[in-house]
Chains A and B, each alone.
Chain A
């Protein structure tokens, strides 16, 4: 399958037996439509957002900030080899599946900075409804054109987006503990 004609194509990567097609976020809708209608990727399996703040630092996982208890003071081991730098802070991966007789999988990926709006693919794959709400809720990515972009897993009045790397673990006060 050739992805040369995907609109807004930046690069095609192969790794671990999986294909990743990176497109520019402005052309996301055109690329998604092309993949669905021309190449048959009719099933949206997942939308996964990832935050790369601090990527290439010494420690994976913990980033912590001054607010809240940091349960994970960075440990001392360093990486023997620094990972390759990423273009921007956030990536969004749309995991697609061509649900047909000869199935295929694809990762459609875009890279965005904090606050960049992303066009919503809800018209193309209705399954995106809750996946986009989840990415908004936990990662703080806003989707343009989503008709109901409200928090889904956390209470409506929650502050911050927990899956961001600058959101500390243990930042929530524990009720009935001595500290609160």
Chain B
């Protein structure tokens, strides 16, 4: 195992502040209000943007007060996709509840599963075999690629670069084939379980994943060539929706959005989980805090994600025949063939399937770096076979609340670009 010399941590803030003070609306941070005086004097038009507008990435309603083309007031109305996941999960055994988090964020399903599973494992105090850790990392990064690809595709669509959509969905298709090969499903795999993985890695995975990793950097170059010299693209993204690092922190933003505002902040580097401290990758940071930099950060992140996947494949290929899940029979199902010969295994199987495993009493909060930022999972267990309380911190939730701060004073056309650049996903906001 090649060990890498640990570099000293780089400073979090890499640039001077973009603007002095704060631009967060007062008194309600998520509600940009038109002053009564302005409402009286100017010709203010209230426009309902959504809930079914193509560029709202789900079902989001933005109530915008317009003075001409300028945004004078704005608030976001959410909840259209509320399905009560957290309540439902309280009524399912721990291992059945793993199905739920993936449904919240349907673009990076396995990242959400990962947060929930890591939280369960933290409570259980269970050891995970290295093969599972590295496969989880590989799939997490493939999910990041998937999420960013869909983001870039729809972002392009919204700004009028329709061909971007076709280019991105070409690679997305390959990714979905990879997910299907591993998990049996294209989107909702439920491949991570407390203890490790649900099944061993299929043999064909490495060949296809390698091919993908070889191709992906070229594809990213193609996306860049498509728009980076395009004057319309640059005009619609550069200097639009500027957000300072301080405001981003105050508003609870994270992920690519803060990295575009000049913060060198990535949980994979700062508070590593899985084996992120053993792989070599860079954190792209840009300092202009505008839509264009958010686009550049995500594009660079796709390159880095490909690098991480390649390194995970290197490790995984040397792990053939190793266990993919813990052998703790109180948590993990025994292998099928043992059920015919071992009474003990049959009992364990029966108990796990009917009641599920019990998780020690306690509360934990686990955070991971999802494609959209800091994704958190708060778990309370009373020592029983079902979660007492599950609460997710969705990065999109904070980002949607922050949209009015970014949009104030902008034009209605910028609103599309800004809302898209925050990469909010309503399934995750409404849960």
Give the bracket for the number of chain A residues in contact with chain B.
35 or more
- Taking CB atoms, residues of chain B closer than 8 Å to A130 are 30, 397-398, 400-401
Q: Decide if A39 is an interface residue (CB 8 Å cutoff).
A: no
| Assembly CA distance A129 to B9 (angstroms) | 32
Q: Decide if B252 is an interface residue (CB 8 Å cutoff).
A: yes
Q: Decide if B384 is an interface residue (CB 8 Å cutoff).
A: yes
| Assembly CA distance A71 to B365 (angstroms) | 29
Q: Decide if B101 is an interface residue (CB 8 Å cutoff).
A: no
Contact: A43 with B90, CB < 8 Å? no
| Assembly CA distance A16 to B28 (angstroms) | 36
Contact: B252 with A162, CB < 8 Å? no
Q: Decide if A147 is an interface residue (CB 8 Å cutoff).
A: yes
B264 to A, closest residue via Cβ: A101
Contact: B364 with A18, CB < 8 Å? yes
Encoded as 1 (CB less than 8 Å from any B CB) or 0, chain A from 113 to 129 comes to: 00000000010011101
Q: Which of B82, B382, B397 contacts A83 (CB 8 A)?
A: B382
Q: Within the complex, what minimum Cβ distance (angstroms) separates B339 from chain A? A: 22
Q: Decide if A166 is an interface residue (CB 8 Å cutoff).
A: no
Name which of B37-45, B178-186, B318-326, B387-395 contacts chain A. Answer: B387-395
Contact: B383 with A62, CB < 8 Å? no
Contact: B82 with A42, CB < 8 Å? no
B364 to A, closest residue via Cβ: A16
Q: Report the number of A-B residue pairs with Cβ-Cβ less than 8 Å.
A: 154
| Assembly CA distance A43 to B395 (angstroms) | 13
Main secondary structure of the interface of A (DSSP, over half): loop
Q: Which parts of B71-89 form the interface with A (CB within 8 Å)?
A: 78-79, 82, 84, 86-88
Encoded as 1 (CB less than 8 Å from any B CB) or 0, chain A from 138 to 156 comes to: 1000000001100111110
B401 to A, closest residue via Cβ: A130
Q: Within the complex, what minimum Cβ distance (angstroms) separates B44 from chain A? A: 20
Contact: B380 with A50, CB < 8 Å? yes
Contact: B365 with A105, CB < 8 Å? yes
| Assembly CA distance A32 to B199 (angstroms) | 45
Contact: A61 with B11, CB < 8 Å? no
With A46-B365, A130-B398, A147-B27 as given contacts, are A125 and B388 in contact (CB-CB < 8 Å)? no
With A45-B374, A61-B387 as given contacts, are A99 and B265 in contact (CB-CB < 8 Å)? yes
Contact: B12 with A99, CB < 8 Å? yes
Contact: A162 with B374, CB < 8 Å? no
Q: Which of B11, B79, B88, B252 contacts A44 (CB 8 A)?
A: B252
With A46-B393, A126-B24 as given contacts, are A163 and B388 in contact (CB-CB < 8 Å)? no
Q: Which parts of A52-92 form the interface with B (CB within 8 Å)?
A: 52, 55-56, 59-62, 71-72, 75, 77, 79-81, 83-84
- Taking CB atoms, residues of chain A closer than 8 Å to B79 are 151-155
Name which of B218-226, B355-363, B406-414 contacts chain A. Answer: B355-363
Contact: B378 with A95, CB < 8 Å? yes
- Taking CB atoms, residues of chain B closer than 8 Å to A50 are 380, 388-389, 391
Please give 19 more A-B residue pairs, beta carbons under 8 A apart, in addition to A83-B382, A102-B9, A151-B79. Answer: A15-B362, A15-B363, A44-B252, A45-B252, A48-B389, A49-B391, A50-B380, A59-B384, A60-B382, A60-B383, A60-B385, A60-B388, A61-B91, A61-B386, A99-B12, A103-B271, A126-B251, A138-B86, A167-B87
Closest 7 CB pairs of A and B: A127-B252, A60-B384, A46-B393, A126-B29, A61-B386, A153-B79, A48-B391
- B contact residues vs A (CB 8 Å cutoff): 9, 11-12, 24, 27-31, 78-79, 82, 84, 86-88, 90-92, 122-123, 249-252, 254, 263, 265, 270-271, 355, 361-365, 367, 374, 376, 378, 380-389, 391, 393, 397-398, 400-401, 430-431
